[in-house]
Amino acid sequence: DIQMTQSPSSLSASVGDRVTITCQASQDITTFLNWYQQKPGKAPKLLIYDASDLETGVPSRFSGSGSGTDFSLTISSLQPEDIATYYCQQSDNLPLTFGGGTKVDIK
Amino acid sequence: QVQLHESGPRQVKPSETLSLTCTVSGGSMSSYYWSWIRQPAGKGLEWIGRIYGSGSTYYNPSLKSRVTMSIDTSKNQFSLNVSSVTAADTAIYYCARLYSSSWFIFDSWGRGTLVTVSS
């Protein structure tokens, strides 16, 4: 199985801050990397697919980058509604696997 | 916009079989993969497996010996069975559509249902 490692596991930032979450795959997955946002008590929601493509309707302050084994999700200006846990997920190989999650709070 | 809804018993006794059904509305099931994902309280996401509209399946090797999925496109439903459950199977269970292009993405999710394994 491909292991996905996210860091940090949690972070606190101020409204308006730039926030970056990283995700590392245990082997090369080219750009087969997706990002999801999970708000408390809700199902995950797709934010970004294919490492950098923004899902329709997702605010442009979210962006993704990376290829190979190293990826990142950036929120350019953190908003109160971005409080959530963020997960990366690889789709290069079966079984599909997720990172452990990064919990984002407002400072 | 496709919508998914999980249903089934909220509590299952140890050693018994957990059974859930996902009802799909707003779209065809035939040309898509459908998945189950679970999340223990306060923890991360674990992919259980997928089933295609034709009925072909893939199960996560971590659960393969205990998992069975089925699909009934005439009823717009697919189902999950997990046998010989233990407390470690207590989790929120989500059903989701697994969109397949050159990649696999979970593009629509149900709200999830909490299943507790307890006597």
Give B42-87 as a DSSP string: TS--EEEEEEETTS-EEE-TTTTTTEEEEEETTTTEEEEEE-S--G
Longest dimension (CA), chain B: 44
Q: Read off the pLDDT of residues B1-35 as tens digits, 9 standing for 90 and up.
A: 899 999 999 999 999 999 999 999 998 898 899 99
Place of tokens 């789709």: A91
Q: What local confidence, expressed as pLDDT, does residue A80 receive? A: 97
**Residues sharing a CB contact under 8 Å with residue A73, sequence separation 6 or more, in sequence order:** A20, A21, A23, A35, A47, A48, A62, A63, A64, A86, A88
By CA distance, what is A31's nearest residue in B?
B103
Is omega for the bond preceding A95 within 30 degrees of 0, making it cis?
yes
Whether the CB of B104 is below 8 Å from some CB of chain A: the reply is yes
Longest dimension (CA), chain A: 38
Q: Read off the pLDDT of residues A30-61 as tens digits, 9 standing for 90 and up.
A: 999 999 999 999 999 999 999 999 999 999 99
Cross-chain residue pair A96–B104, CB shorter than 8 Å? yes
State the sign of the Cα–Cα–Cα–Cα dihedral B42, B109, A30, A95: positive
CB atoms within 10 A of CB A41: 8
- Kindly state the helix (H) or strand (E) to which residue A13 belongs, with its residue range: strand A10-13
pLDDT along chain B (119 residues), means of 10: 96 98 94 96 96 96 96 96 98 96 91 97
**Distance between CA atoms of B93 and B25, rounded to whole angstroms?**
18
Whether the CB of B34 is below 8 Å from some CB of chain A: the reply is no
